[in-house]
Structures are given as C-alpha cells and as structure tokens.
C-alpha cells in the first residue's frame, strides 16, 4: 500500500511539473514589442574625424540618393541633421523633436569614418555604419556598409568630376540592399 501511495504522489508531482509552468506562463510567452508605424524619416549624418571641415560632395550625393528612396517609397522626408549627434541620448532628443512635428518619424543614422587624406585622391572612408531607429527611438537594425572603393592612381591624372553622382549610386545600392526591409513600399 505504501508503495502505491508513493507512486501516486510521484505521478501527481510529474503531472504538476508539466502542467503548472504552462499555466503560469513562460518567458517565451511575452508579447513581442509592437513596431511603431513609420510615416516619415529623417537622416542623421555624423563625421567624427573630419579631415576637411567643408561638406563632402560624396556625402551630399548619399543624402540626395537616400532622400529619393524615402520619397519614392511613400514616406515623408523630415530633413537632415548633420554632426549634432554624439550619443544615443542626442538621437533620442532629436527624434523626439522630429516626432513632435511629424508623428511616426523614424531615423537613418549614418556614421562616416574618414581615412587619412592623400593629396589628389579626395576623401576615402574606412567604415560607414548605418543604424535605423523607429519613431519611439528603438534601434531596429545596425550594420556596417561597404564603403566606396578607394581611388586608383589613375584618378590623380584624371580626377573624378562628380563625387556626388558616386554618392547617389552608392545610396541607391544601400537602399535596395539594406533599407527596403525597414522602409517597405507604402501604398
């Protein structure tokens, strides 16, 4: 009889161990954070180590290309913020200001790290980082992009006349390869 009671208690404990955690909820049962709807986008540009303080023509072309991608996809363009961003608190504040004017404004934050400048070769970049923020200021995605190819020695003799056109084509490739997942076509 004692053996049967112990077996019944063991079976009851096993059933309780299986059923009770499911009733109490599991960490996997947490609701996913709801993605804030995106109505517009602002572009934030940062150049931490500027060799030449003037606006870079390549970056200006990138801004034009990204603006075209934003507008073509059906989003409102909320402007460009240059070099006012130093940390995530600044991004939160600037994005909050943009959302006060245009609710649903997301952000594309680009950080261009310049390589040491060689005379005649123009500006080259060692890395370009892109971070996408939703309207609530949460990071949707961060990735390193492929910087434009370094210029050849031939460019010393025949320099590129339109680095802004190079920037536009680079931005179009960035939009197609990386940003369409975060900014799908709106109808």
Q: In the predicted model, what is the mean pLDDT of the chain?
A: 79
**What pLDDT does residue 55 have?**
79
SS3 call for 138:
coil
The class that CATH gives domain 41-179 is alpha beta
- Give percent of the chain above pLDDT 70: 70
Q: How big is the CA angle at 91 (ends 85 and 97), to the nearest 5 degrees?
A: 110
- The pTM of the full predicted model, rounded to 2 decimals, is 0.74
Residue-wise pLDDT tens digits, 63-80: 999 999 999 999 999 999
Question: Is residue 4 pLDDT above 70, yes or no?
Answer: no
Determine the average pLDDT of the residues in 138-148: 90
């Amino acid at each position: 009889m004692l053996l049967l009671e112990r077996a019944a208690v063991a079976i009851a404990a096993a059933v309780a161990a299986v059923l009770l955690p499911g009733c109490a909820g599991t960490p996997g049962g947490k609701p996913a954070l709801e993605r804030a709807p995106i109505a517009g986008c602002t572009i934030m540009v940062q150049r931490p180590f500027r060799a030449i303080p003037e606006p870079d023509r390549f970056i200006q072309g990138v801004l034009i290309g990204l603006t075209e991608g934003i507008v073509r996809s059906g989003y409102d363009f909320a402007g460009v913020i240059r070099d006012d961003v130093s940390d995530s608190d600044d991004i939160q504040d600037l994005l909050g200001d943009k959302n006060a004017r245009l609710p649903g404004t997301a952000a594309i934050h680009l950080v261009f790290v310049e390589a040491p400048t060689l005379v005649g070769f123009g500006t080259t970049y060692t890395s370009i980082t892109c971070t996408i923020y939703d309207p609530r200021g949460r990071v949707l995605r961060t990735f390193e992009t492929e910087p434009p190819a370094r210029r050849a020695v031939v460019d010393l003799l025949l320099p590129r006349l339109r680095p802004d056109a190079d920037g536009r084509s680079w931005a179009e490739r960035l939009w197609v390869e990386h940003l369409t997942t975060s900014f799908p076509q709106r109808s």
